[in-house]
Structure 1
Amino acid sequence: MKIVVLAGGLSTEREVSLVTGTSVCRALRQNGHKAILVDLFLGLEEVSVDLETLFDAPDGLCPDTKIQVTAPDLAAVRASRKDQSGRLFGPNVLELCSLADIVFLGLHGQDGEDGRVQATFDLLDIKYTGGGYLASGLAMDKSMTKRMMDSAGIPTAPWRDIPSYTEADIPALTAELEVPCAVKVVNGGSSIGVALPDTKEELETALQEMLRYGSHIIVEKKIHGRELTVGVLGDRALPAVEIVPAVKEFDYTAKYQTGGAQELCPAPITAEQQAVMGALALKLHRTLGLEVYSRTDFLLDDDGKFWCLEVNSLPGMTAASLVPKEAAAAGLTYNELCEEIVQRSYRLKRRG
């Protein structure tokens, strides 16, 4: 197949996405596909050849990239594109995607998991991997996901939706919200736009910090427990991973830098606990209408109860990411995992 692996974009998870895309592109090329990597926002400027011939590029157009310690400078990314319009799709991106048999969505965060790219592709009759536009949008919005979990009876921490606030509202919110708690921007990812204040002073700082990312937040009761995650592939749950942070908070730096956390796969839990958590992950996957694959994050408290945190409709797919580790524990190589995602997605009927 001719495959465009779409990555990058303008999300705070841009660099993670580029590493995912590069890993996937190289695996698909090893599988015999004509795969190329394309940056959603930067695209390909001033292409002097027939676009069709780019699928024969010997390196798949893969960049040398890695995840930095700090989140990307999105203003600098915007400034680097010659076309300074407000278009999300860079030069020649849609044209290349239209030439492909399928687009592998290596995107993470707001510009890839919120359903807008998927909706565009549906309108243009372009095949793509993973869930559709509506399920993706629901899963990206933590407020909507929490509502769906509550309605489906999936245990999740008590929470409050704050759809909009300004700096002037912070004193009143600080006074009325309980601590300790978790404060989350509704469309954040990779632990960006998340704070875990224990005191009123920390809560005030957290509310100010969240305004950098958006004014719609949720505030959850903080539950202490072991951090676990379980992937769904097709109609089955994969073996769980336990994440043991090396530092107090599992933030962006801890998540992506060597030594930031220990990841135990399969997780040291009982078969019964694996079954319960897998069933909950599958239930949320189906409740939201997700397709092909996803990953759901949990806490396991001291009383042995699971609490669902959120679901990722396009989880990380670097070779060291959690879903590939779970797939390996289930007997799938990284290349086989990428191939199954492509084949399952290719067979989907998107628009009736």
Structure 2
Amino acid sequence: MKIVVLGGGISTERDVSLSSSRMIYQALKKKGHQAILLDVYLGYEGNYEDIFEKDRDWAETIGGVRESNPDISRIKAMRPDGGKSFFGPGVIPVCQMADVVFLGLHGEDGENGKVQAAFDLLGIRYTGTDYVSSALAMDKSLAKELFAFHSIPTPEGIHVVKGEDNGERVPFPCVVKACRGGSSVGVCIAHDETEYQAALKEAFLYDEEAVVEQYIQGREFSCAVIDGKALPVIEIAPISGFYDYKNKYQAGSTVETCPADLPEEKAEEMQRISEQVFQALRLKQYARMDFMMDEDGKVYCLEANTLPGMTPTSLIPQEAQAIGICFEDLCEWILQLALKDGM
């Protein structure tokens, strides 16, 4: 099949997206597909009439994930047209030529439903969930409201808007998150009012809204759902600090155990909740749910990720491997789900 792996963009998760896209592209090539890799923002300036027949390595210039966020202003400066459109030159016509677009995007426009809505209008088939469920999952405040409506356990929290303060507070320590961020960018733990104000300032660098929720002391887990069925639970244990941007993507920063060392009934509880979240947010194809379990064994679902990482340190590939599915077969599985949804 002719497949465009679409990554990059101008979100704070640009590096993660490119790393995921490289892995996906290489896996699909091994599967025998006519795959190419495009940066959704920088696009392709050449002749694309025979682009799927070109003999080149589309991933050769992509590096790993750096410890700090990418310099987005530098990326924007690389567009000759000044970045008037989110889609770079050639991206839309090349995607229209493909059988499927495999979305390797993370954060912001890649996961908030805008790309998905545009592709729906243009008749472009893509991997992952649709525009409605993408928007619901990306907005942490809306997602928490749906969790509450469906009796899905989640930390207590409040919604905060930049420039407004109604005096509401979550008891310290609390977690402050950019409302529509990802990869723990714009996430801080606050232990007092001074740290709280600093955490809000950090979150508002990335969004005009934030979610403040109770801090759960305990163990961290994740559970993927593919085609409505939960995979084995994985435990994430950072060597130091919490599961922030650095610990997520720098090799050796985190100890990950899959299947997680949990009593069978507790693992099944997380899997059941993951499938409930999948249904509550109207997700399709695949997603990954993140959890905390406190010291008393109570489970809390933190959020759902609609285009979870597929980097060398990512969690879904490890969960798939635990049931005997290698990375190449995982990518093919997701691809086939996209084809089925598009029929």
TM bracket, shorter-chain basis: over 0.9
Structure 2 partner of 1:65: 63
Structure 2 partner of 1:41: 41
TM-score (norm: length of structure 1)? 0.94
1:160 aligned onto 2:145: no
Q: Aligned with 1:192: secondary structure?
A: coil
Q: Aligned with 1:145: secondary structure?
A: helix
1:252 aligned onto 2:250: no
Instruction: Indicate conservation of the 8 Å contact 2:250/2:313, yes or no.
Output: no
C-alpha displacement of 1:250: 2.1
Instruction: Indicate conservation of the 8 Å contact 1:25/1:60, yes or no.
Output: no
Structure 2 partner of 1:56: 53
Which sections of structure 1, spanning at least 5 residues, go unmatched?
Answer: none
* Residues in 1 aligned to 2:108 and 2:42: alpha-carbon distance in whole angstroms: 16
C-alpha displacement of 1:85: 3.6
Instruction: Indicate conservation of the 8 Å contact 2:186/2:203, yes or no.
Output: yes
* Residues in 2 aligned to 1:216 and 1:320: alpha-carbon distance in whole angstroms: 29
Structure 2 partner of 1:99: 97
Runs of 4+ in 1 over 4 A off after TM superposition: none
* 1:201-250 alpha-carbon deviations (Å, 9 max, x no partner): 21121112222112201110111110000001113111111111111222
Equivalent residues in 2 for 1:226-265, closer than 5 Å: 226-265=219-258
Structure 2 partner of 1:121: 119
Q: Aligned with 1:317: secondary structure?
A: coil
1:189 aligned onto 2:186: no
Q: 2:133 aligns with which of 132, 135, 140?
A: 135
- Percent identity for Structure 1 against Structure 2: 42
Structure 2 partner of 1:322: 315
Matched AA of 2:55: P
Q: Aligned with 1:337: secondary structure?
A: helix
Instruction: Indicate conservation of the 8 Å contact 2:170/2:214, yes or no.
Output: no
* 1:267-324 alpha-carbon deviations (Å, 9 max, x no partner): 1112111111001001101111111110000001111111000000000012431000
Matched AA of 2:20: T
Q: Aligned with 2:12: secondary structure?
A: coil
C-alpha displacement of 1:123: 0.3
* 1:66-125 alpha-carbon deviations (Å, 9 max, x no partner): 101100011110011112142100000001000000000000001111000000000011
Structure 2 partner of 1:144: 142
1:81 aligned onto 2:47: no
Instruction: Indicate conservation of the 8 Å contact 2:181/2:207, yes or no.
Output: no
Instruction: Indicate conservation of the 8 Å contact 1:116/1:133, yes or no.
Output: yes
C-alpha displacement of 1:176: 4.3
Matched AA of 2:195: E
Instruction: Indicate conservation of the 8 Å contact 1:228/1:299, yes or no.
Output: yes
Instruction: Indicate conservation of the 8 Å contact 1:243/1:261, yes or no.
Output: yes
* Residues in 1 aligned to 2:212 and 2:228: alpha-carbon distance in whole angstroms: 32
Structure 2 partner of 1:217: 210
Q: Aligned with 1:187: secondary structure?
A: coil
Instruction: Indicate conservation of the 8 Å contact 2:233/2:259, yes or no.
Output: yes
TM-score (norm: length of structure 2)? 0.96
Q: Aligned with 2:124: secondary structure?
A: coil
* Residues in 1 aligned to 2:222 and 2:92: alpha-carbon distance in whole angstroms: 34
Cα root mean square deviation, aligned: 1.4
* Residues in 2 aligned to 1:187 and 1:146: alpha-carbon distance in whole angstroms: 12
- Matched residue pairs, number? 342
C-alpha displacement of 1:11: 0.8
1:287 aligned onto 2:280: yes
C-alpha displacement of 1:57: 2.7
C-alpha displacement of 1:34: 0.3
C-alpha displacement of 1:59: 3.4
* Residues in 1 aligned to 2:185 and 2:22: alpha-carbon distance in whole angstroms: 22
* Residues in 1 aligned to 2:228 and 2:212: alpha-carbon distance in whole angstroms: 32
